[in-house]
Structure 1
Amino acid sequence: MKKIFITIFIFFAFFSCKDNAAGTSKKIEQKGETAKYPSDVLPFMDEWTILLGDGTHKQDLVNFEKKDFFYVENNGKTDWVVYKTPNSGITSKNSSNTRTELGQKKHWTPEEGGKLTGTLKVQHVSTSGDARVAASYSVVVGQIHSDEGHKNEPLKIFYKKFPGHTKGSVFWNYEINTKGDNSGRWGFSTAVWGYDIAVVGATPTTFPKEPEDGIALGEEFSYEVNVFDGIMHLSFSSEGHETKTFTKNLLKSEYSRKTDMPEQVKILYSAIGRDGVERENAYSGEIQFFKQGAYNQTNGKNPEDNIVWSTGSETYDGDIAKQYKNGSYTEVWFKEATVGPGVLPDKGNE
């Protein structure tokens, strides 16, 4: 009998090891339940690729996860997809900032349109940075990104919270599709709840007053980005907060003359000399795609070189484990999200 038991044990152990060695997507049992992949929670993962904060780039996201960057957490009642990335890691060639962020496979023009939704909560933003720098303590949780021309961004949705504050701000940023040379590019920020991007500290270590109508870490909010016939329709909602809606024409510029530059931009970008104008037809005819996840806006670059985007955050020489241990990272959880074609907007909600 003992001999039979040993034979059976060896048989199952052999095939179990064979499965693991082959790299199958067989799920692991945890506490009596089957472990889940992000694609089990957000079934649209076949529409995306991903770049992780350690430089991993993955094309097929079905049954894919990576510990400490892209995985599933359950808070006792709800499954969430976690996007986590340090202040310093390996990122795309055109950016100084790390990301664990989805990139849409399907591309489209503003005339063709597209729609992206998400319900999320920001669990952490970098606790180090320079309070004078607009990008400090912030993360981008959704984008529209151009894939030709200057490759600028007609939309970035930000969450930002200063250290010591309970509540942070949600705002969206429109970057001009610069006419001619792109060295003069700038972005204009609009507050949803709390402040816009231009509200900064007077010194590296002093912060503005906490926003009264802000969003706390761990507080859920939702957004909808609907581009239809060249018009971008934005909607933001959160329990206990006023729902906010906005529209922006992506086919005709509001900023095609020097006199069109908003006062916010003149103040924020004066130190780095960016005063360009936008081409008259804005992003018309230019290929776009959505991005979603955690695009960390903090980095270790010297603020004196760029007081808008170089945050001087702690990076621990790029040691990711040390960054995670010491608050030098961002972490965003999504429980719902969709992507698809743009739709005729409900005028009653605008």
Structure 2
Amino acid sequence: MLIISIVLTGVLAFAQDGSIKGKVMDKETGEAIPFANIIAESGGKQFGGATSDFDGYYTIKPLAPGKYDVKVTFVGYQSTLLPDIVVSPDSSIIVDIKLAESTDLLNCVEVIGYKVPMINRDKGGGCIRRYSNADANYIQHNTESYDVINENIFKEVLNSPLSTFSVDVDKASYSNIRRFINQNQKPPKDAVRIEEMVNYFDYDYPQPKNDDPFSINFESGECPWNKSHDLVLIGIQGKEIKTEKIPPSNLVFLIDVSGSMSASNKLPLLKQAFKILVGNLRPQDRVAMVVYAGAAGLVLESTPGSNKTRIIGALENLNAGGSTAGGAGIKLAYRIAKENYIPKGNNRVILATDGDFNVGASSNG
């Protein structure tokens, strides 16, 4: 019996974490639902969470083997609970989720001047008012611009043997290009960032072993446009840190509430994104909120993550209007972050804005 016990203990010690992945969709139309909040719980305690991407896909990992209740929420839809989802060692379970629309009506949404409506649903009760570009008091501005991308040249390894990489991952270009295509527009060439297009997808690279900070993965193949060349893809997978091991966070939300943020895809969308973040806060985390328009102000003192009602209430009360005094907002946000500084913690100011500062100090440096 002693030998059997030791063997079983050894097997359990080498069991690998698993994951839950899938797609969140509208129950009636089958359309993908982006920005849905998915949480894995067991015994009333949260063990992991994720947010669906623009195509509705999500992944919750790493999760220790066992049973979990999966809870899904998104504004305008009924909350859904999927009980007893079994996660097996070293494997992924596919859980696709279909959300039904909520019977609680949302407030009226005004979409102004969009050639392609962002919301294409009108099922009674709620209202969507749409104004054309010809309306008397509407002036359309386009301040969207991109830094010039200089194409990389070939370098001989003999002369340039050193290559660097970044541990952070940028992948916004994929969604941005999709936005242009969905609006029947050609993306500006400098908006096309190949690295971010590649990074958008999940390659399921293995976790690093032992004390290695990352794993290195190679793929190679013949170059489609030049048969005498080969293409090599080098993938870096950083070590995933379990939620309970993450240091406590001292966060300051610095939110632009100037007049240009009133569009439905700006401040209202930011509110939903920050709500998702708030939903994943732990009691040891803290959040303060600074806003700026013509001036800067503190709308929420540093609040523990357990008081989600107060934090979300402060978000809901935000309204857009005025000019953009970003410099004053940054100074105030950093002062608040310093006052609530957590030694060896995750101290961050999260800036959310749509453009340039037009009041107060600013620079292009």
Q: Same fold (TM over 0.5)?
A: no
Question: Which range, TM-score by smaller chain?
Answer: under 0.3
Work out which structure has the larger RCO, using CA pairs closer than 8 Å and 6 or more positions apart in sequence. Answer: 1
